[in-house]
Amino acid sequence: MPNPKGQKSQPLSPAQKDAARQRAEENGRPYPNLVDNMWAAKLPRKS
Protein backbone atom coordinates (compact mmCIF):
# COMPACT_ATOMS: atom_id res chain seq x y z
CA MET A 1 0.00 0.00 0.00
CA PRO A 2 1.38 3.41 -0.90
CA ASN A 3 1.96 5.78 1.96
CA PRO A 4 -0.24 8.87 1.45
CA LYS A 5 2.59 11.15 2.53
CA GLY A 6 4.95 9.52 0.05
CA GLN A 7 7.40 8.48 2.74
CA LYS A 8 9.07 5.11 3.05
CA SER A 9 7.92 3.25 6.11
CA GLN A 10 10.39 3.64 8.92
CA PRO A 11 11.46 0.78 11.14
CA LEU A 12 9.84 0.84 14.54
CA SER A 13 11.70 2.47 17.38
CA PRO A 14 12.49 0.28 20.40
CA ALA A 15 9.64 1.94 22.31
CA GLN A 16 7.22 1.20 19.47
CA LYS A 17 8.37 -2.42 19.34
CA ASP A 18 7.82 -2.76 23.08
CA ALA A 19 4.32 -1.32 22.74
CA ALA A 20 3.51 -3.63 19.83
CA ARG A 21 4.79 -6.67 21.72
CA GLN A 22 2.75 -5.76 24.79
CA ARG A 23 -0.37 -5.21 22.69
CA ALA A 24 0.13 -8.55 20.95
CA GLU A 25 0.47 -10.38 24.26
CA GLU A 26 -2.64 -8.70 25.66
CA ASN A 27 -4.61 -9.85 22.61
CA GLY A 28 -3.19 -13.36 22.55
CA ARG A 29 -1.30 -12.86 19.29
CA PRO A 30 2.22 -14.03 18.53
CA TYR A 31 4.79 -11.26 18.15
CA PRO A 32 6.15 -10.00 15.84
CA ASN A 33 3.09 -9.62 13.65
CA LEU A 34 2.03 -7.09 11.05
CA VAL A 35 -1.16 -6.05 12.83
CA ASP A 36 0.57 -4.81 15.96
CA ASN A 37 3.53 -3.39 14.04
CA MET A 38 1.19 -1.31 11.87
CA TRP A 39 -0.59 -0.09 14.99
CA ALA A 40 2.69 0.78 16.69
CA ALA A 41 3.93 2.64 13.62
CA LYS A 42 1.08 5.13 14.14
CA LEU A 43 2.23 5.93 17.66
CA PRO A 44 4.28 9.08 18.23
CA ARG A 45 7.98 8.32 17.98
CA LYS A 46 9.90 8.66 21.23
CA SER A 47 13.60 8.08 20.99
Q: CA-to-CA distance for 20 and 34, rounded, in angstroms?
A: 10
**Residue 2 confidence (pLDDT):** 52
Output the tens digit of pLDDT for each of the chain's 47 residues.
555 555 556 789 999 999 999 999 999 999 999 999 999 999 997 65
**Residue 45 confidence (pLDDT):** 77
**Residue 11 confidence (pLDDT):** 86
Element at 39 (helix H, strand E): helix 34-41
What pTM value is reported for the model? 0.73
Extents of the domains making up the chain: 10-42
User: Do 40 and 17 touch, CB atoms closer than 8 A?
Assistant: yes
- What is the Rg, in whole angstroms, of the alpha carbon atoms belonging to the chain? 11
